[in-house]
Chain A
Amino acid sequence: MTVESPRVLMGFLILVPVIALQVRAFLKGRSEIALLGAIWSHDTTVRLYTVKWFFSSFVFDVFLVFAVLAAADVTWGERPVEEDRSGLDVVIALDVSHSMLARDIEPSRLERAVGVVRAMTRQLPAARTALVAFKGAAVTVTPLTEDGNSLEVVLDGVGPGLVSAPGTNIEQGLSEALRTLPEASFAHRAIVLLSDGEALGGDVDGPIAELRRRGIPVMTVMTGTTAGSTIPTSDGTPVLDRDGRPAISRADPLTLERIATRTGGAFFDVASPDLVAELSGSLSRFAVIRGREGFRLVPRRRYRLFLGVAIVALLASSAVRVVRWRGIV
């Protein structure tokens, strides 16, 4: 079972003010009906009122819970959809944030990443490639093209200067990568994300949902070590944090692993010896297998189950108020 939009689950928080308002309404209502005089202050009436309040409120809360679950898009199981494609489009999403200048990977995270890209594209001469560089924002450096020369040329100039917005926003990188993959393309599509995983902004759930829907796997390459290192500036001194100590940048595999598993891709460590072979191998295998099977598996959505319960609960909550109980309320 998978929650496709986990952020929506934050919606459960609205239960707190909702229940508070319900309790307040109950306490006030109970004393107010007595003011109408006569039977309304009678024990029986108060008991009826209490029972009625409890059911209608409880069922309304059930409605909210299930509506949130429906909106969070819970899936389990898979179903095949026809996928008639051939060829391969690969977008390389390259992190060019300042932390990529750290030297825990020789000669630097960025230079190693560029080296991986260069080697990988040579292994995939038939693929169309695009290069997206991202920091706080993302730019298409090279659009999707068959022209391997142009990628070679731009790779020489890749650095933090490509993007002005500071930070590391993987969401922006993935969104821009998605944009560069035209829906009209007949080829299989994949993204290779090279980053140290130190995300400082953005929420990758949005792009992940879209990638899953379109069946685009993301191969993630963690460029950096979890031990981390300082980040050198142009004059050789390390970047300092707010307290004046040298800032340590540590690679974080969690986000990268999640992106890879959720989209059906694979996670790689830049330090692994056969990285390029494995990476380009998994890309071409993916295209070959999909091309042979002619379908891909997409998660089976179950929102209707939850939404059905939610609607029934909503109607029940309303019905509790509509049905007159013992001819009184």
Chain B
Amino acid sequence: MNEVSPIPASSPAAFDVQRLREDFPALHQEVHGKPLVYLDSAATSLKPQAVIDAVADVYARDCANIHRAVHLLSQRATARYEEAREKVRAFINAANKTEVVFTRGTTEAINLVAQSWGRAYLREGDEVLVTELEHHSNIVPWQILCQQTGATLVVVPMTDRGEVLRESFEEQLTDRTRLVAMAHVSNALGTVLPVAELIDLAHERGAVVLLDGAQAVSHAYVDVQALDCDFYAFSGHKLYGPTGIGALYAKERLLEGMPPYHGGGDMIRSVTFEETIYNDLPYKFEAGTPNIAGAIGLSAAIDYFTSFDSQAVRAHENAVLRYATEALESVPGLRPIGTAPGKVAVLSFLMDAAHPHDIGTIVDSEGVAIRTGHHCAQPVMEHFGIAATARASLGMYNTTDDIDALVGALQKVQELFG
């Protein structure tokens, strides 16, 4: 690994990754007798102790249902849940916290838009535009919607580097396009889409735009007002928060015109057998007891994440990504998949010597956790004529040592299979 050039001296000193790593208990364990090297944060990020404590504290102290009882525990739980909503609002810079709907995650947020907004407003002949690099959760909900409404799913192709170009986007955008649903950042390739520009184009045609922000929130600036997106979906668990919690941002005027997604408790103002009057925004879209501890855990994750200088975090991750990109180039027979300029945090690759699944098992035996498979993006695999890739992905806690461990483990693959 000595051939690889070191990180430039300009690396931010303010960002102390070794100290930060102390905050993540899962990092400090051995797997198969080797120290864990976690390179699967695109699947889910590890959780800092502050998040774990916040979730435990809800159950240990403020364990009550929200928006219901007059007792103190319920008041505390309600207050913390609503504080979490405000935290999310500020994090993505939404104008109003009525525009933040808690969901189980990105997938549920997208399905909510498809089934509520989509079924109300799409007709036969309308078009839903997605890109070729989408995760299945930003494809399948729209396919279901198209089957239900007679609308057509249209796909913007990507380049062989994994980019979505303005020209290709414009070619597929028509006056029939009612909705554009696209990733902010690709999970399989790390591509950052030029979303601001594409949103403007879509709006010029009168289409609304949903961004799948699952991979973006921990790696890119998200300002929903600056982007002017109509919907933004993301998950807490890729932002160092708990699983089972996420949020949908939607412009208030759109939410107002949308029917409920699920019926149940908390989403109503009054119910008789003749008529139900729905609750105000955003509660109309939060039927049933929500993931209270999850929302409060997400709030703690946002606190944790934003306690660091965001530019320093990005500079650190990009330095590790550059180091990794060069290091992987030195591995004989390795082919990177997804080489879009400006990409973030994801290194998908193939090796001549071994299938991704074999790579995954071998590097795991060296303590290195990566993802192998199609990454829920089979059309991306189809584009490259492959069934699967191996994917290493970065979080803020990863270091160049982790990359050295990966490259060392890949040498084991060569030894065994070469």
| A and B part of one assembly | no
State the B residues within 8 Å of A (CB): none
